[in-house]
Structure 1
Amino acid sequence: MDSGKFYPLTLRHLLKLILKQYEEFDHVFGIPKKLFFSPRLGAPLQMNRFGQRLQTPIGVAAGPHTQLAQNIVAAWLMGSSFIELKTVQTLDELHISKPCIDMQDEGYNCEWSQELKIHESFNQYLDAWILIHILKDLMHMGDTPDLGVVFNMSVGYNMEGILRDNMQWFFHRMNDASAEIAQRLESIKDIYPQVSNLSINPQISDNVTLSTMHGCPPNEIEKIGHYLMKEKNLHTVIKLNPTLIGRDRLWEILNRSGFATRVPESAFDHDLKYGDAVEIIKRLSQTANECNLRFGIKLTNTLECENHKQVFPPSETMMYMSGRALHPISVNLAAKLQNDFEGTLNISFCGGADACNISDLV
């Protein structure tokens, strides 16, 4: 067995593990029962997103931590209501540098991290969707009639790839997983008989976040955004880069923060410019209105920088910053855009949010 590959557990295996841990030890995946988030109808932090109720405005952004069912379930148990699933793309057999993530202080990662094929990713998202329904029933969590959770697809990275057969298959299955859900429930009803009485929505997701490569042309970003709304009828969010704030402002913030990040000039040259972004947001917002859909932006993507550390292989000339060092850049960019749009923007914020700053962000 290749130790560098993922071998996901089956839904049946995961459910047996969860039930044993919960019933015998009062924890799931090492999380004590007393720490589980229990929603209440009418709680002050509830909100509406894409026409669905969220138990909280807090969730997890797309990444390696949202590609396996058990990680998604663990995030939900701790109060995550907006689950941005790991980005999928047509190229799903990649060589991944190891290590590909460095989180010593400021976060860095390599360009690629997709370790599952598209059908494997779908299976993980489906299993997590079913498990959350089961756990809500098992634990009598909250007095809310609906799930209170949004699964947000994340797709990339260009129009050509999104139009490929395997990506179209993924969109179709995420829109209607009726057959797969029926098969899964049949396989576990001897373990959890009550599953036959559960109402599980076959539409896992009706919304998407578009992730594009650093340096993606503006017209390509806009073209995909229109396609996702007009052709796929999906509530759509586009992820924008931190370089949007501008070279001078970005360097001012970085120099004050004290981090040793080295941003190449090419990052500013090939990324989307602020003026172009404003016009794209206006046009995509108009398309959303015409399609009776919701449009938003995600702030921000990682920050492209030079690989100046000794963590990643030398072949990785660039790495991508996230976490604590990205936070002041993302916050200031969000403030600038929201001010220019007079507070009307629908923003999904993911730049370095943590337990110390989340109350101020909300």
Structure 2
Amino acid sequence: MTDQRLNRRSFLRKTALAGGASAGVLAAPAVLAQAPLVLKMQTSWGASNIWQEFAQDYADRVEAMSGGRLKVDVLPAGAVVAAFQVMDAVHDGVLDAAHTVCAYWYGKSKAASLFGTGPVFGASSPAMLGWFYEGGGAELYRELTQDQLGLNVVGFLGFPMFAQPFGWFKGEVNTVADLQGFKYRTVGLAADLLQSMGMSVAQLPGGEIVPAMERGVIDAFEFNNPSSDKDFGAQDVAKNYYLSSYHQASEQFEFLFNKDFYDDLEPDLQAILKYGVEASATANTNKAMRRYSADLKWLQEEAGVTVRRTPSEILDGQIKAWSAILPELETDPMFKRITDSQRAWAEQVAFYELMNAPDYALAYEHFFPGKLSL
């Protein structure tokens, strides 16, 4: 497929030269008119998921910044391949690009999950996105994907997600003992973590979660956020929603590009694809703040969902479980190089972040008394 792919840079260059040779014959607008270069990007999200909108936010910015020279055709999960198969499809050139998360190719290397769904060393999701771009994470990602796994991809991370809720349960859970035996949906290293805490884990794409709950394949689950959960119909199969968790507290979107396709672009178009990720991260964050909070309010007030913070005993159990499973995982040298890098970054950056941050909860409680006592 790579051999058959049109050399787009050569095509664009030849088109421009042909246009120049004809300038004395054709009017300028006709000479300069050029069909956009279309990228076929599939996501790992359903068409109605808010994350599909987030992918479109990226596409809109790329098209605008390129003056229409680039157009991203955003397709939902299943349009070409299944949600968990986008990495392979981009590697093979079946897709030009994908909008996904690293945990979805965790089966190739558990180290993949460290780029978003790994242990929490005390740094926030924005801080860990900083590690990717300023702390050596991007080079480690390149080594893992290209050098170690031989994947023909270029990837960037964007949108530092809010910490993911522990999720949806049919009844209350208050202690680690209450979790024993639950059939629970999650992905990536969170599966290793929660299995070590006594849960039985199924790794399912988002669109399969509620049907699995209805069939009894699982009896508790998490996905990511109130808006996606609402759109899935989570409130129809469970009424207890636990916010805050250490199982996936610092994830980001992964933007994948076929390396042959990316390398063949002019440098300015490469830059637009790369820095468009940063632009969409701001847009996604702003939209998430508005939509996630509004949908959480709807779940409480209209859908009869009881919203709680995950009990401190379970949170403490998660931290201890991370410490317990890391030594075996770190027998993989690449895995350990990444976690060593993340630890060093978190120790420095989270110290500043935590020491500098005022107690926002104290201020919130002052102006909106009683609302946080869930």
Coarse TM-score class (shorter-chain normalised): under 0.3
Normalised by the length of structure 1, the TM-score is 0.28
Where relative contact order (Cα < 8 A, 6+ residues apart) is larger, the structure is 2
Which structure's CA Rg is the greater one? 2
